Amino acid sequence: MKRIQNTLQSLTTRIRFAALAVAVVGTASLADEPPAAGDSAGDSGQALYLRHCASCHGPAGRGDGQEGRAFEPPPTDFTEVEPDAARFETAIRDGGMAVDKAGTMPAFRHTLGDEEIQDVVAYLMQLQR
Ligand code: HEC
């Protein structure tokens, strides 16, 4: 009887240890996981905007970026259009044509993750005021 108890006890200890090991390894691998898309997760909407959008839409969202000057129609001036978070989101994710705008507006679904797109949209929305 005593032997069985001992065996059971050491078994429980081993199981506990295994569970702990899994927990530790699990946490470590979560921390090492790369961000969903791009290398800029954690950046603010403004930082993402400056990196990916300002070249066309301008540093302050007025549609006057260096690269954007060549486009006709020109890149959107966010201080002038009707603010619409859902339309902005679709345009950023799927490109200009998805919202009946110019196809020269690139799709960012392979560059920015969902959260990053949300952050950029929030930034654009506050350019309206
Ligand atoms: C290569 C130049 C270029 C880049 C880079 C670019 N855009 Fe655009 N964007 C455009 C053009 C051109 C349009 C279309 C304007 C039109 O058709 O009236 C547009 C349209 C849009 C629209 C639609 C506006 C509306 O009223 O529906 C949104 C939103 C937008 N861009 C956001 C962004 C964001 C955010 C980024 C960066 C993640 C970005 N754009 C990067 C050129 C660009």
Instruction: Convert the pLDDT of each residue in 30-75 to its tens digit.
Output: 444 444 455 445 579 999 999 999 999 999 999 999 999 999 999 9
Q: Is 95 in the pocket of ligand 1 (CB under 6 A)?
A: no
Contact 65, 75 (CB under 8 A): yes
Average pLDDT over residues 115-122: 97
CA distances 8 to 39, 40, 58, 75, Å, are: 49, 50, 69, 71
Q: Is 88 in the pocket of ligand 1 (CB under 6 A)?
A: yes
Sign of CA dihedral 82, 88, 90, 94: positive
**Which band of pLDDT confidence, cut at 50, 70 and 90, is reported for residue 109?**
very high
Q: Which residue owns the Cα nearest ligand 1 atom 26?
A: 81
Q: Which stretches of 33-113 are DSSP H helices?
A: 45-52, 54-57, 85-94
Residue-level pLDDT at 111 = 97
Reference 65, options 55, 52, 73, 75; nearest CA is: 55
Domain ranges of the chain: 1-33, 45-125
Average pLDDT over residues 71-94: 97
CATH architecture of 45-125: Orthogonal Bundle (1.10)
